[in-house]
Structures are given as structure tokens and as C-alpha cells.
Amino acid sequence: MISQKINYLNNYFKIAFLNIKSNIAGNIFALSIMSFSFFIMLFFMLSYINIYNYMLSFEKNNTMIIFLKNTNNKNSEEAHFNKVRFNRIIASNIINKIKKFKGVKKVKYYSNKLSYKFMIKHTPKIKSILAKIKPAYFPKIIKIYFNSNYISKIYLSNIYLRLKSMRHIKFVYYSKLMEDRINQFIFFTKIIGFIVLMFLFISSVFVSYSAIKLIILRKQNDIEILKLIGATNNYIKIPMYIESGIGSVFAFILSLILLFAIFNIFIYYRFNNFLAFFKINIIFLSSFDVFIIFFVALLSGILGTYFSSRKFF
Amino acid sequence: MISQKINYLNNYFKIAFLNIKSNIAGNIFALSIMSFSFFIMLFFMLSYINIYNYMLSFEKNNTMIIFLKNTNNKNSEEAHFNKVRFNRIIASNIINKIKKFKGVKKVKYYSNKLSYKFMIKHTPKIKSILAKIKPAYFPKIIKIYFNSNYISKIYLSNIYLRLKSMRHIKFVYYSKLMEDRINQFIFFTKIIGFIVLMFLFISSVFVSYSAIKLIILRKQNDIEILKLIGATNNYIKIPMYIESGIGSVFAFILSLILLFAIFNIFIYYRFNNFLAFFKINIIFLSSFDVFIIFFVALLSGILGTYFSSRKFF
Amino acid sequence: MIEFTHVYKSYDKNYILRDLSFNIYKGEFVFITGPSGAGKTTTMKMVIAMEKPTHGQINVFNEDISAIQPKQIPFLRRKIGFVFQDFKLLINRTVFQNVALGLEISGVSGSIITKNVTEILKAVELYQTKDEYPLSLSGGEQQRVAIARALVQNPSVLIADEPTGNLDFETASIIIDILKSFNNKGTTMIIATHDKTLIELGRARVIDITKN
Amino acid sequence: MIEFTHVYKSYDKNYILRDLSFNIYKGEFVFITGPSGAGKTTTMKMVIAMEKPTHGQINVFNEDISAIQPKQIPFLRRKIGFVFQDFKLLINRTVFQNVALGLEISGVSGSIITKNVTEILKAVELYQTKDEYPLSLSGGEQQRVAIARALVQNPSVLIADEPTGNLDFETASIIIDILKSFNNKGTTMIIATHDKTLIELGRARVIDITKN
Ligand SMILES: Nc1ncnc2c1ncn2[C@@H]1O[C@H](COP(=O)(O)OP(=O)(O)OP(=O)(O)O)[C@@H](O)[C@H]1O
Ligand SMILES: Nc1ncnc2c1ncn2[C@@H]1O[C@H](COP(=O)(O)OP(=O)(O)OP(=O)(O)O)[C@@H](O)[C@H]1O
Ligand SMILES: [Mg+2]
Ligand SMILES: [Mg+2]
């Protein structure tokens, strides 16, 4: 019995290869159509991951800025010295309180001068304007960095309320609106990504369904003859699954190579420099992403075979 | 002779419809594959046009900003009144000169106060900081709008040099670097767009080539029989062209409807609002773009038929 | 062994067979005759469950065919060799591969396949064309390939539909001799034909389906 | 009208036909015989330029076939009706459409097609099956469809390859009668067969290609 099973299995592979060989045109066609569909899938995945990555860079901006009240501005040198010391004491007081909060990673104090420099560095477009303003007019700032796993809307608004109630603090800024919008956008990106991937999955099942159905239609005559001389359904179906499995894997590899080549051409011609200018940093698919698409590709090939061959038996 | 020609033509259409009817599965497959390929084409065109449009919005930013020198700051009311009048005279002087330049569309003067308001309006992120600065510290600005058809690198740098040499002008700002880079990027977008479109065109020729070749392979037997009983090549080919022409048109309409539906779902769920947040304004394909793709689709269908049927005759 | 009792068969309400009853015993050699369109092919197709009778009962190997499980059909067909009127050869397999098909689907190992196929091809005088494809064979040669494919499995029943329609008298005689020798080894033979010379040559029981 | 002079034909260096010469005159009725695999089908295929002779010359309608322009081949074939040994019917067209095919490709108008096809289908006793598809016909019925398709064009030459291989004696006689009547109206008839009864029935000149 076992030797017969092995014989069958051996036969199934032989038949699958024979089928592939005897219908090269059809198989190349199916292969390229499937590659095409997988390529589109991979391409969308690549685009999606890069867009998502870009979005994420906003979310990772896990900081909060506190503006301290300016003390009375006296024009004498001595008063100025005292004022600086006084400010430092207030600041370190506040900083110590903040450091006790759960989830705070780092706290940084910017004096008027430092905040002036910071501004100039981060707003190059209006640098020329800022340059004309005296540093003393700039606010004293405390910047808080949070642990990224602590960041949530509720947590941040909690911290926000606690800070607002403190003395010497003028106002707290954490671009709540921005955060909200970006979170919403990321949410939608996730949903759209999911929908697009589902859509591509279905269309790729459809593509392999049709490709294989066409191959079957061409072989319909042969299948009928085989059944007339006593072939079981398995004898006909299993080689077909092997065939489409091999096809899917090849198509997937082909599409991956194509995408990789295009990606590298893109890098080679430094098109990414232009994107970097918009603070977009492009990345290739991780092996995990590739694995997911591979799985989806294989699944769609097998599902396609299943649906297309079901009718005939 | 003419009645026979009409008879033939009538026959060709009849045969084409008969062929479509008799191979519904194959035709639906070819149709959907072609739709798929055209859809991808249309989708890329849509994406490309939107990206290009976005890029163009930078280029259209055809303004130049001139910062005027601040006159000495005296603290008396009377002096202030004089100063304002004096500044106005200087500004209108400069504006009159600028207006004589070829290509200038509009010139606008911002006093300290107006420029303060302008800044606050356009840099919402640092509004809180700017709010603390006295308007008097803000520069007086003249903003020049150019006719878009005059904008070129040489023209702008020419104007730039002429303005720089004038009295009372502190400096001139027109984000030269930005312009350069964006121009470069637009150039690359054009090239990439062209390459992607070529690639899609070729792959869509290939798709219809393969789809039609498979249909022919299935009909190979019939074709041979027809030739054996005296059918001319035209008798076999012309219905095939009609068939694939009809197929291409249908596939194109299908893919256009699909794209339009998806676009409208996108609009319906206000996803575009989120893009608008990034100052991206999405637009649908113009009828000219649609026409181009339609032409390309039809051409690829016909070319596909030509290549796939050539071997058999 | 094969038993038709009051079998009726209709396509679209046209009755082709009416009240057909006969019995074929193990080891017999039987001719089925009748004019073109009488239902010879249909009758034989019903034996391997390719067609179902409209009424009546068909027993093959003491089993009721109309009640057969779809899963069992392949195993029934492996015991019955069938030579089709239109040969039903696979056009993209060689003569050898076509003949080997029946053994392959039964899971017979490669070496036995080679031996048996070679033997039967030599018997029908086609060994020299074993690597040709069916389309490059003459009509008579294709018919002999079909016969070889049916015989190579050493079936307990062989059904041949017009097996000599494309053969000249000499080749037909050779084929009949081969069928006779298989019959002598125990294979039940059922041959559909309207060739009177063949029937004379066969000297066996004749079932005329138009007379039932 | 059809003239073979020293024709040789080989596939892969095996000569099937050697030095074949014969002449068929306008209005003749000729049988071509020879055992299975002798080259009857090949000979006939060469007449409609389906195969080329390896050496020698073939004249059809006083034209050298080996020098024929590919563009001219369809017009040659429209003048020669051909009944193929394996019928070559289009399986996704009805009997009527199959028979009408020959007229359609010549650009004959619809009403004439209907009239002629109806006539010929009645002659071969298949008018009642005109809307059936070939696969639901018996072997003999398919053969008659093939004959009808060849005859409907009223060709000046009709070549039939084993036209009665699947027909019983009665039906075969009817077909021979039809062929005879077309022959009487001027159609040259060339029939390949190994059926001796048919040859006796036809009482015409026999060309045995193995003897040339
Ligand atoms: N699938 C089908 N659908 C409809 N009619 C059919 C089908 N198969 C056979 N028939 C009809 O049944 C009748 C008998 O067919 P069958 O093939 O059994 O005849 P036969 O005796 O084998 O004839 P022949 O000697 O010509 O082969 C024919 O008239 C045929 O048209
Ligand atoms: N395309 C081909 N390639 C190779 N060999 C071929 C081809 N066509 C025919 N033959 C061989 O040529 C020989 C003659 O074939 P042909 O079909 O002419 O015989 P036939 O006289 O019609 O025989 P039958 O009575 O069996 O139909 C056969 O042995 C066949 O195998
Ligand atoms: Mg039959
Ligand atoms: Mg022949």
C-alpha cells in the first residue's frame, strides 16, 4: 500500500510537470498574469508601508512643550543675574515634579536663548524674521519626552490637565489637534490598507481562478477521457494543485524580483533624495511583509484552483 | 461586389458575436484581465496626475518677498506718525519701480502690523510664540506675484539681482533652493510617469496579447477546420479584431466605472479631508486623460490581437 | 455478468432504446448490431455509467449500476476496457503514453508499465510508432492505439465500439484474432459493429438492439 | 483534372508514397484503396495543399499545386469538397451551422444558405437533428453531417475519406446513391475506402496506391 502511495505521489508530480510542459503557452500566460497581480499587491504593500511609516513618524513625535511665565523684566545687570538664577530654581522645581510622572522619559529645559536657537533651527522659512527678534522676547520652555508605549489620548490629556494647574506655567502645548487628526488618518490608512489588500487578494484569487479555469477548459477534453478510463478525482486534481502551487511560487518570486529591481533603480537614481526633501524616508518590505504576501499569493493560487476545479468534478 | 462586401461585413460581426457567445468563459476572463490591467493604468494615471498636480502647486507659488529696512525706532507719537508716512512713501516708490518690470502681475505691501497678522495666519504652529512679540518688531514686506508664464529660473534670478541692488531693501526671499529642487522633482516625476505609463502600456499589450492568444489557442482547432474548407485569413482575422475591439472598449468602460466608484467612495467618506490637511487636493482624471487611456487601451487590444494572431496565419 | 432488464433510454423525450433486455455471461464473445443511430454506443456507455438509463435496471458484476456511488465509478471503469468509436486519445501524449495511461491511473509501477505496453503495441503492430503523437497517425493506426489502451489493463470485460471501422480486411482480421485470444484467456468481449464481414469472421452471438 | 506524376511523400525520411502517378478526369468516379497506413489520406490531403509532396508534381485544375500562392489556397479549397476521416466538425456549432459554413465563407447570402442546407440535410436524412450539436450525434450521423457540408457547396470535385466507415450497409447505400447523383450532375468523385462492399456497390475505377 505504501509503495503504491509513493508511486501515486511520484506520478502526480510527473503529471504536473508533464502538464506544465505540454501547455507552456498557457502556463506562461497564467504565470505572467499571476505575477502581474502579485506585483500590484507587493507594490501596494510597499506603498502602504511607506505611507504608514511616514504617518507613524508624526505619531512618534511624543513630546509636550511647556511655556513658563516670564518674570518681570528689569534692565539692570544684577537683576538680570538674579532673574536667571530665580528662573532656574523655578524650572528645576517643575522639572522634578514632572520627572515623577509615570511614562516620562526625558525632560529638557530651554532658557530664552536656547529656545531662540531652537526656533531658528526648526523654522528655517522664517529664520530671517526671527533673527531680528531679541532672544529675551522668547519664552522659556520645558520639553517633555514620553515613553512611546505610554502615549494615548487619555494619558496625554491627563498630563496636560495636571501641568496646567501648576504655578509658573503659562501654557502647555502638545498639538492636540494635530495628534487627533493624525491618529484619525492613521486609522483610516489602516482601514484603507486593509480594504485595498482585501480587494487585491480577492482580485488575485479571481485572477488565478480564471487562469487555472482556462487551463482546465483547455484540458477539459483530456480530463473527460481520463475519467472515462477510470481516473479518480484525486488523480486529476492533485497534479493540478501541484501545478498551480508551483505556478504561484514562481509568479511570486518573479514579481518580488521585479519589485526589488524597480526599487533599486529608484534608489540608484537617488529619487529617494527628492522624497527625503519632503521628510519621506522610503523603506523596502521587511521579510515579514514579504512572507505575508507570499502566504496570500499561495493561498490565492490554491483557492483559485479549488474554485475553478470544483465545477468539473 | 458591393452587396457581397456588405454580406461579408455583416458576417464578420455575426461571427464575432457568435464567438463571444460561444466562449463566454474565455471572454469574461479576457475582459476581466484587460479591465484589471486598464484599471491599474487608470489608477496610476490618477495617482500620477494628483502627484504632479501637487508638485505643480509648489511651482505655481510664483511670488517673491521683499523685506524693507526698518527706519530708526523713535518712541514719540509724532515721530511714529511721521515714520509711518515716510515708510509709505518709500514703499510706494519701490512698488512703482517693481510694477514696471515685465511679468509682474500684482504687488502687495504689508506694513509691520499686516505682516504680523500674515505671520500669525500662516504659521499656526508657532502662533503662541508670535503672539508674544510686538508687531513693531515685524518687518515691512512687499510681496510680488508674477504671471505664471513668465516664471523661469533665469527670469527670477534676474529680478532678484535687480531688487537686491535697490535702496531701502534689506533682502529678497524667493526660496531659490526650493524652486530648484521642485523643478528637478517635477522633471523626474514627468520621466517616471512616462516610464510607468510605457511599462503599463507594454504590460497591457502583453495582457491582451496573452488573453487573445489563449482564446485563439482554444479556437485553433476551429480555425484549422475553417481554413481547410476554404476560409481566407481575413474571414478568420477580422471577426477576431472586432471581438477584441469590443472587448477592449468594454474592459475600458468597466475599469473606468470601477475607478470612478472608488474615487467617489473616497470622496464620500471624506478621506480627501485628511489629504487636504497635508495641503493635497485630489482631482479626478480630466476627459482628455480618460481619452488618452482609452486610446492606449484600444491600441493595446488591437496590437495584442495583431501579435497573437500573426503566428497562426 | 452484464444484465439489462427492461431498459429504456431517451434524450429530450425521444426514446432511442425501448424495453431492451439481454444477458451477457462471463467469458462470452458478443456482437451488438443495429443501423446508424440505433443506440449501440448509448447501450455500451450505460455499462460504464457514462449514461444513465431512463427506466430499467442494469447489473454489471452483479451490482446495480444506476445505484452506484460516484466514488465507485473509477474502479468499475478500471475493470472494463472501452474502445471508443472516436478513439478518445490524448493528442499531446505519445502513442506509448496513451497506452500506458490506463496502467498509470491504477498506480502500476513504471517497469511493469513499460513491459506490458511494449507487448501490446507489438501485438497491434504499432511498436515502431510508439513515440509518435496521435495526430500524425492514420485513422486505422489511431484505432489500434485505442484498442491497445483498452487491452493493456487486462480488463475482465472489453467493450469495443466499431473497432474496425477504419481498418482494411487484413488488419481487421489481426485485431479480431487478438480479441479472440484475450477472450480465450477469460476476457468477456462486447463488440458493436455493422460490418457483416466482421460478424462472419467473429462467429459469435449477435444482439441486434433494434429487435428487442 | 487531377494529375499525380511521380509523386513521393515522406515523413521524417520514411517514404510513405513512392513514385505515385495517376490521372483523374473530369466527371469520373474513382475509388482509392490500400491497407491501413498505406497513404490514402495523405494522397488526398496533397490535392487540397494540406500536405506537400516531397518530390514530383501534382496538377489540379491544370495548375501546379506545389507552386500555388498561399493566398490562392482558400479559393482552390472552395472548389473541392472534402469529407475528412475524422469528420472535423465544429463542436460548438449546430448541425445546420456546420453545414452552412462552406457557403458562409464564400459569402453566399442568408436565404440561399437556408434553402441549400435544408435540401442537403433532408437528402442525408438529418433534417430532424439540424439544431443538435455534433457531440450529441451518433458516429454515423456525424459522418453524414461531414458529407453534407462537403456537398452543399456543389463542388466540382468531391474527395471523401472513408465516408462510410461508421455506417451500416443501408445507410451507406443511401450515401453512395447521393454521391452517384452528384457525380451524374458533373461532380468528380474521389473516394478512399477499404470496404470491399462499397467498392462493389460503386462499380467504378479503383486506384490501389500500394500498387503504383
Ligand atoms: N448526448 C446526446 N444528446 C442527444 N441525443 C443523443 C446524445 N447521444 C446520442 N444521441 C442520439 O441518440 C441516437 C443513438 O446514438 P448512438 O450513438 O447510440 O447510435 P449508434 O447506434 O452508436 O450509431 P452509429 O452506428 O452511427 O454510431 C442518435 O440518434 C443520437 O443522435
Ligand atoms: N503528420 C504526420 N507525421 C508523421 N507521420 C505521418 C503523418 N501523417 C501520416 N503519417 C504516417 O503516414 C502513414 C500514412 O498515413 P495515412 O493517414 O495517409 O494512411 P491511410 O492510408 O489514410 O490509412 P487509414 O486507412 O488507416 O486511414 C501512416 O503510417 C502515418 O503514421
Ligand atoms: Mg455509435
Ligand atoms: Mg486515412
Residue D106 to residue B230, Cβ atoms within 8 A:
yes
Shortest-distance ligand to the CA of residue C209: 1
Question: Would you say residue C140 lies in a domain?
Answer: yes
List ligand 1's pocket residues with C-beta within 6 A: C 11, 16, 34, 36-42, 85; D 129, 136-141, 166
Q: How far is the CA of C37 from the centre of ligand 3 (A)?
A: 7
Residue C37 to residue D138, Cβ atoms within 8 A:
yes
Domain ranges of chain B: 2-57+180-309, 62-173
ipTM of the complex: 0.73
Which residue in A8, A23, A222 is closest to C107 by CB distance? Answer: A8
**Host domain of residue D124:** 29-50+69-208
Question: Would you say residue C7 lies in a domain?
Answer: no
Residue with cell 460548438: D92
Q: What is the pLDDT of residue B56?
A: 66
Q: How far is the CA of D50 from the centre of ligand 4 (A)?
A: 14
Residue C147 maps to which CATH number?
Answer: 3.40.50.300
- Confidence class of residue C157 from pLDDT cuts 50, 70 and 90? very high
Decide if C157 contacts C82 (C-beta within 8 A).
no
Nearest atom in ligand 1 to the alpha carbon of residue C194 is 25
Decide if D53 contacts D66 (C-beta within 8 A).
yes
Shortest-distance ligand to the CA of residue C140: 2
Distance of alpha carbon B224 from alpha carbon B244, whole angstroms: 20
Q: What is the pLDDT of residue D54?
A: 92
Decide if D34 contacts D41 (C-beta within 8 A).
no
Nearest atom in ligand 2 to the alpha carbon of residue C142 is 26
Distance of alpha carbon A266 from alpha carbon C42, whole angstroms: 66
Summarize pLDDT for B182-205 with one digit per residue, the tens: 666 667 667 767 777 777 777 777
Angle of helix A233-268 versus helix A24-59 axis, rounded to 10: 50
Q: What residues have a C-beta under 5 A from ligand 4, the ion?
A: C 138-139; D 41, 85
Amino acid at position A169, single letter: I
Task: Record the pTM.
Answer: 0.71
Contacts of A41 by beta carbon, 8 Å cutoff, 6+ apart: A197, A200, A201, A204, A255, A293, A296, A297
Q: Does residue B276 have a pLDDT over 60?
A: no
pLDDT, mean over chain A: 75
User: Residue D170, CB half-sphere, CA atoms under 13 Å: how many?
Assistant: 7
Find chain B residues with C-beta within 8 A of D152's C-beta.
none
Total domains in the fold of chain D:
1
> Whose CA is closest to C143, among C157, C160, C130?
C160
Summarize pLDDT for A137-164 with one digit per residue, the tens: 677 788 888 776 766 667 777 787 788 7
List ligand 2's pocket residues with C-beta within 6 A: C 129, 136-141, 166; D 11, 16, 34, 36-42, 85
Q: What is the pLDDT of residue B180?
A: 60
Q: How far is C199 from chain A (nearest CA, A)?
A: 26
Decide if A170 contacts A67 (C-beta within 8 A).
yes
Q: How far is the CA of A170 from the centre of ligand 1 (A)?
A: 99
Radius of gyration of chain D (CA): 17
Q: Does residue C181 have a pLDDT over 70?
A: yes
Residue D144 is placed in which grid cell? Answer: 453524414
Which residue in D78, D88, D106 is closest to B225 by CB distance? Answer: D88
3-class secondary structure, B72: coil
Q: What is the pLDDT of residue D84?
A: 93
Decide if D42 contacts D9 (C-beta within 8 A).
yes
For residue A49, give Cα distances in angstroms to A35, A191, A283, B93: 20, 13, 8, 55
Alpha carbon distance, N-terminus to C-terminus of chain D: 19
Where in chain B does DSSP place strands (E)? 63-68, 104-110, 140-146, 169-173
The arithmetic mean of pLDDT across residues B248-273, rounded, is 80
The neighbouring-strand residues paired with C63 are: C60
The arithmetic mean of pLDDT across residues C198-209, rounded, is 85
Contacts of D52 by beta carbon, 8 Å cutoff, 6+ apart: D46, D66
Classify residue A115 as exposed, middle or buried by CB count within 10 Å of its CB (0-12, 13-18, 19+): buried
Residue C166 to residue D167, Cβ atoms within 8 A:
no
Q: What single-letter DSSP state applies at residue A54?
A: H
Strand order through the sheet with B63-68:
B104-110, B140-146, B63-68, B169-173
CATH class of B62-173: alpha beta
Q: What is the pLDDT of residue B111?
A: 80
Question: Looking at A114-128, A295-309, B281-295, C167-181, which range is the least confident one?
Answer: A114-128
Shortest-distance ligand to the CA of residue C84: 3
The arithmetic mean of pLDDT across residues B19-26, rounded, is 77
Distance of alpha carbon B211 from alpha carbon B308, whole angstroms: 9
Question: Would you say residue C180 lies in a domain?
Answer: yes
Summarize pLDDT for D2-20 with one digit per residue, the tens: 999 999 999 887 889 999 9
Residue with cell 505556478: A247
Q: What is the pLDDT of residue A188?
A: 64
Residue D74 to residue B230, Cβ atoms within 8 A:
yes
Which residue in C84, C92, C108 is closest to A22 by CB distance? Answer: C92
For residue B186, give Cα distances in angstroms to A264, A278, B14, B18, B286: 20, 13, 50, 49, 20
Decide if A254 contacts A35 (C-beta within 8 A).
yes
Distance of alpha carbon A56 from alpha carbon A186, whole angstroms: 8
